[in-house]
Amino acid sequence: MLTGMQIAIIGGDARQLEIIRKLAELDAKLSLFGFEQLDHAFTGTHKEKIFEADFSGIDAIILPVSGTSLEGHVETIFSNEQVILTADIIAKTPETCTIYSGISNSYLTGIAKQAKRKLVQLFERDDVAIYNSIPTVEGTIMMAIQHTDFTIHGSKVAVLGLGRTGMSVARAFSALGAKVKVGARKSEYLARVTEMALQPFHLSEIEKELCDVDIVINTIPHPIVTASVISKMAAHTLIIDLASKPGGTDFRYAEKRGIKALLAPGLPGIVAPKTAGRILANVLSQLLQGDLKNRKGKAI
């Protein structure tokens, strides 16, 4: 149980509703920011405006998967007002307050470090990333079907990166009958691709390896599908970029060449928000209960 914990949930999409529901069931006291248009009422919660709230008693802050922008803006689909997380707000929280976010950037990391508050990036956890890869795969398959005029079965698919998402995507497309090749840099990843009975290639050979594929699925959050790479692709190639914004694809040049390139971060929140929200809610509840237990132990 989370009885006695005061938690601020700031912004987000439909995934946050599952988090609110779970934490309310565990008896936490929840302050909701950026939810004034939410019709559903949860017991033990109250809506507030972030610039009017008292953060001096907040034990934890929960941000959306996307965290904040580089200016501190927090995305929310349940409000028309700007929601901004500032260094001053963080400084007003107790020293033991923990900030939870899906991912971070220089701004969020900076204000947390400045205030000496613990920042937990949920998507750095293997369990969250692996569970989350399931709806990501389903969404990627959906996009591939919607934006092509050929079957996945028999098509040539290149997956870039063999992280937790890349591995799940490669396995699923292979199971659907695609001819899958996987690009990576580390020798152990290339060995794993071979063990999976897929075709490995080193990313230094990316221009040559992508010249005849039908679908490219990128999971690497760095510029990897460059103009030079795109210039050698077939005109019908579909690029699906799953990396966090701004992705790893030169979208401007892809458009210039007439190649369809789609940036699709956050697919779980689009195709399966309830499942994705439950994944986050379960992990957060465990982490928060651990925090509460540690605080009680120190107080004894």
Number of domains present in the structure of the chain: 2
Task: Tell me if the bond preceding 265 is cis, omega within 30° of 0.
Answer: no
For residues 252 and 159, membership in a common domain is answered with yes
Within this chain, do residues 210 and 250 fall inside the same structural domain, yes or no? yes
pLDDT value of position 245? 84
pTM (two decimals):
0.84
Residues 233-275: pLDDT tens digits? 999 999 999 998 889 999 999 999 999 999 998 888 888 999 9
How many CA atoms are closer than 13 Å to the CA of 153, on its beta-carbon side? 1
Residue 68 is assigned to a structural domain of this protein: yes
- Whether 219 and 175 map to the same domain: the answer is yes
Q: Are residues 90 and 164 in the same domain?
A: no
List the chain residues with pLDDT less than 70.
296-300
Residues 210 and 95 in one domain: no
Closest to 131 measured CA to CA, from 264, 268, 270: 268
**Cα–Cα distance for residue pair 21/25, rounded to 1 Å:** 6
**152 falls within a domain:** yes
CA-to-CA separations, 87 to 32, 84, 99, 108, in angstroms, rounded: 19, 10, 12, 9
Q: Where are the beta strands (DSSP E) in 116-229?
A: 118-121, 156-160, 179-184, 199-202, 215-218
Does the residue 1 lie in any domain? no
Residue 266: predicted pLDDT: 82
Quick check: 67 and 44 in contact, CB under 8 A? Answer: no
Same domain, 292 and 211: no
Domain that holds residue 160: 127-265
Same domain? 46 vs 88: yes
9-29 pLDDT per residue, tens: 999 999 999 999 999 999 999
Is position 206 within any domain?
yes
Judge whether 47 lies within some domain: yes
